[in-house]
Amino acid sequence: MLLPILGLFIAIPYGIAGLIGLFIAFGLFTLQHFAWKWSFILNIIGFVLFLIGGNWYGVILSAIIVVYLNLPYIKKRFE
């Protein structure tokens, strides 16, 4: 009886995070400025967390995405 309730407490935050991810992905696909901003913020946070955790592949990937998002012609497309 307790296990399904605990499963809901675990599944609901992941479901909300997934919906937010879909919303940002749709915004990136349609070149919305809010999606650029949130992608930039989340990749900076990911960069720091990967750096603290010692995950060098994550650090490199986050750095590449941040640099890509800040290229002048990419930034201009999202304005």
Q: How far apart are CA 6 and CA 31, in angstroms?
A: 38
Q: What percent of the chain has pLDDT over 90?
A: 80
pLDDT tens, position by position, 16-49: 999 999 999 999 999 999 999 999 999 999 999 9
Query: Which tens digits make up the pLDDT trace of 44-77?
Result: 999 999 999 999 999 999 999 999 999 999 999 9
In this model, does residue 1 exceed pLDDT 80? no
Q: In which band, very low, low, confident or very high, does the pLDDT at 9 lie, cut at 50, 70 and 90?
A: confident
Domain extents for the chain? 2-77
Question: Which residues, in sequence order, are CB contacts of 33 under 8 Å at separation 6+?
Answer: 78, 79
